[in-house]
Amino acid sequence: MGTPDGFLKYQRREAQAYPIEQRITNYDEFHTPLSEKEQKKQGERCMNCGVPFCQSGMIIGGMISGCPLNNLIPEWNHLVSIGAWKQAYDRLKLTNNFPEFTSRVCPALCEKACTCGANGDAVTVKANEYSIIEYAYEEGLAKAQKPAVRTGKKIAVIGSGPSGLAAADQLNKRGHSVTVFERSDRIGGLLMYGIPNMKLEKHIIDRKISVMKAEGVTFVTSKNVGTDISAEEIMNKFDRVILACGASHPRDINVPGRNAGGIYFAVDFLASTTKALLDNGLSEGSYISAKDKNVLVIGGGDTGNDCVGTCVRHGARSVTQLEMMPKLPDERAENNPWPEWPRVCKTDYGQEEAAAVYGHDPRVYQTTVTEFLSDENGNLRGAVLVKLEPEKDPNTGRMTMKQVEGSEYTADAELVLIAAGFLGSESYVTDAFGVETDNRTNVKTDRNSHRTNVERIYTAGDMHIGQSLVVRAIREGRDCAKEVDLDLMGYTNL
């Protein structure tokens, strides 16, 4: 290590966020990276642990601990600390196809498992990764590298989210000819239209897609396989097919009044803002607007927070975010020790912004909707909410949330955004290809495999494992690509 006592010598420093009153006036990324000198110090804080949990990607206590990609984190932390940026990039790209994405949107499972974080502040792994990949682009290290030899094998990847892109990238590097089909008008899937611009500016996606195109990957947009193109046509033209369409079936809230005008799924709301931003600079009437409306966001996860931050930028009159579960503790509980994922209360950027604009945290815990109310024109005007309390099921011993009798109250709302997660794959794709699904509508495979019940068809990402993180989707795509390559060639070096 460059400085064996760096974790004692230097304090953790993170990229500075722009002031809230400034950043909510636009949809741009809002952090100023550290200087190269300061980033080197942050690299020096790495302890080079004997057991680096940061890169383990293990399941501990039912949750992932450390990076699912098994990134070689201590190695490139050290290389950052000595300013060996090219070597750091060489080590980073061995395990991660898209550090330009993960360094922006990943919740940093690596940092939650960092040994420094057991009794202090974790190493700034995510920021170090960001510095490496941006240096690589600035210095021309991340430019296109075409495979020297083509195998003559053709592969179709259905879906251009992180898993599909990772599979395509790997298989193209191996020399196979890969075509990626995307039903939307732009490549990126979840990355493009599911994640707001202020978390991931879309030119960052376009930058990487340009590299992949130059390396030989073919992209087909605005073609919905299963409707615009038949499964039979795909199977006839390609040697192997990878289904990577995501868990794109949103969970609904089925209560009286659900058909009122002004109720949308969160993914549709976020997509409309991003598409209008890219198409026409958010011209009035071109997207689902929260301007001057009382907004109710149902769901306390990352997508719900993204809705909150977007509504603040729209100019909403008020924003309330409902969370069914109790508020998590501010610090780790005794039954949640390091290096487990910390089950603690996190205040994200959208919630910070709403608190600054409206004067209070937008989250309301242990609460759900029992009815939507509409006006004489059928448009949403409010919702009936009810408090919940945890109750142990006497048969299973599991805790469930039960309604508190007499706790109902009415809240004004002209816009409701449902951010309650996703149920799995969409049936029109799985039916078209004849692949089996499990009881959660994920595409069914054998354990530790991506091969479906249909010959020559594989699956990867959220469509396979259910809704998860971008970093897990990338790992899924890489693992699937390896399995496909082995099937095609009889051996694999992926």
**Stated pTM of the model:** 0.96
Dist. CA 338–CA 91, nearest whole Å: 27
- What pLDDT, on the 0 to 100 scale, is given for residue 3? 75
Residues 270/301, Cβ–Cβ less than 8 Å: no
Residue 244's alpha-carbon distances to 57, 102, 166, 442, in angstroms, are: 22, 18, 10, 11
Distance of CA 299 to the CA centre of its chain: 16
Residues of the chain with pLDDT below 70 are: 1-2
Dist. CA 481–CA 461, nearest whole Å: 12
The residue assigned the tokens 């997207």 is 287
Residue 322's alpha-carbon distances to 4, 295, 420, 454, in angstroms, are: 46, 11, 10, 42
Residue 227's alpha-carbon distances to 101, 423, 428, in angstroms, are: 30, 21, 8
Residues of the chain with CATH 3.50.50.60: 154-248+423-489, 263-418
The packing angle between helices 125-138 and 73-81, to 10°, is 60
Give the tokens for residue 295: 């907004």
- What pLDDT, on the 0 to 100 scale, is given for residue 1? 55
- What pLDDT, on the 0 to 100 scale, is given for residue 399? 87
Q: What is the CATH number of domain 6-138?
A: 1.10.1060.10
Beta bridge partners of residue 452, listed in sequence order: none
Domain 154-248+423-489, CATH among 3.50.50.60, 2.40.30.130, 3.40.140.10, 3.40.50.300: 3.50.50.60
Q: What tens digit of pLDDT does each residue of 172-200 get?
A: 999 999 999 999 999 999 999 999 999 99
> Would you say the C-alpha torsion 157, 203, 249, 475 has a positive or negative sign?
positive
- What pLDDT, on the 0 to 100 scale, is given for residue 61? 87
Taking alpha carbons only, the member of 118, 113, 421 closest to residue 267 is 421
Q: For the chain, give the secondary structure using H, E and C.
A: CCCCCHHHHCCCCCCEECCHHHHCCCCCCCEECCCHHHHHHHHHCCCCCCCCHHHCCEEECCEEECCCCCCCHHHHHHHHHCCCHHHHHHHHHCCCCCHHHHHHHCCCHHHHCCHHHHCCCCCCHHHHHHHHHHHHHHCCCCCCCCCCCCCCCEEEEECCCHHHHHHHHHHHHHCCEEEEECCCCCCCCHHHHHCCCCCCCHHHHHHHHHHHHHCCCEEECCCCECCCECHHHHHHHCCEEEECCCCCCECCCCCCCCCCECEEEHHHHHHHHHHHHHHHCCCCCCCCCCCCCEEEEECCCHHHHHHHHHHHHHCCCEEEEEECCCCCCCCCCCCCCCCCCCCCCCCCHHHHHHHHHHCCCCEEECEEEEEEEECCCCEEEEEEEEEEEEEECCCCCCEEEEECCCCCEEEECCEEEECCCECCCCHHHHHHHCCCECCCCCECCCCCCCECCCCCEEECCHHHHCCCCHHHHHHHHHHHHHHHHHHHHCCCCC
- What pLDDT, on the 0 to 100 scale, is given for residue 394? 85
Q: What tens digit of pLDDT does each residue of 263-298 get?
A: 999 999 999 999 999 999 999 999 999 999 999 999
Residues of the chain with CATH 1.10.1060.10: 6-138
Report which residue type is found at 189: G
Overall CATH class of domain 263-418: alpha beta
